[in-house]
Structure 1
Amino acid sequence: MSRFTRTVSVLGAGAMALALTACGGDDSSEYCDLITDTEEDFSSALSGDPTDPENSDVMQDLADRMNEIADAAPDDVQGDWEYAAEAFQAFTEIDPEDPASLEGMEQYADMDTRMQNISDQVSEECDIEFG
């Protein structure tokens, strides 16, 4: 597997993890509302190829939204959201035609762990399951 493919797989998996399924609950906090709104706003866009240039604006919007969620997140998971938002921002800057644009992406090798932390916390705090 090439470095580009691995990077896209890790970050793409994180993007796909944001395709959420609400499982009930009445939590109306800003944090949970932002997560629910993200699912509504991005679920159809996230079903496509995140590396497709047609999706670059959507991926940038998602990175921006993740920063908003990070700002609203509880302290115990805020660092994980900031990490994910930073990774997605870096992901939006990858040029699939230029392998050099992957330079520095290895710093996001912990994405799976961070997304699991987020998933666990969102499930507990907001009663929302990552789909």
Structure 2
Amino acid sequence: MCWSITYTLHENCSWAEVHPTSGFSSGEKDKIKVDIDTTGLREGSYSCPIWIKSNSGDGLFTVTVKVADDHTPPTVSIVKPKRGWLYVNGKELMKIGFVTVVLGEITVEVEAEDDKTEVEKVEIYVG
């Protein structure tokens, strides 16, 4: 027996857009993408209901977004290499004063945190 589902999706939020808005499935999983644009939203939590209508029944799911008004930069600290130490091929050998010396290769380690939002990435530029 072969069956198929035809569906449509609908949202009514200015900051969310669902793709695709309709589809057809005969058993495979379909990806539904929700684009979020927080431009112009004030700090707070926002929810957007998304309705699914199909020939097999209807449903509802909710997308929730938290917007943080964060003007304080994150705290970033270098964990390795430590200031004032001698490193050879990534191994910490001894404290030598105020200048860090690295001979060979080293993996730089950093810690980054923010009190309101997540830190997605830290970029280090050498040169």
TM-score by length of 2: 0.23
More helix by share: 1
Query: Of Structure 1 and Structure 2, which has the larger fraction of its residues in strand?
Result: 2
Asked which structure has the greater CA Rg, the reply is: 2
Q: Per chain length, whose mean CA-contact separation is higher, i.e. which structure has more relative contact order (CA < 8 Å, sep 6+)?
A: 1
**TM-score, normalization by structure 1:** 0.22
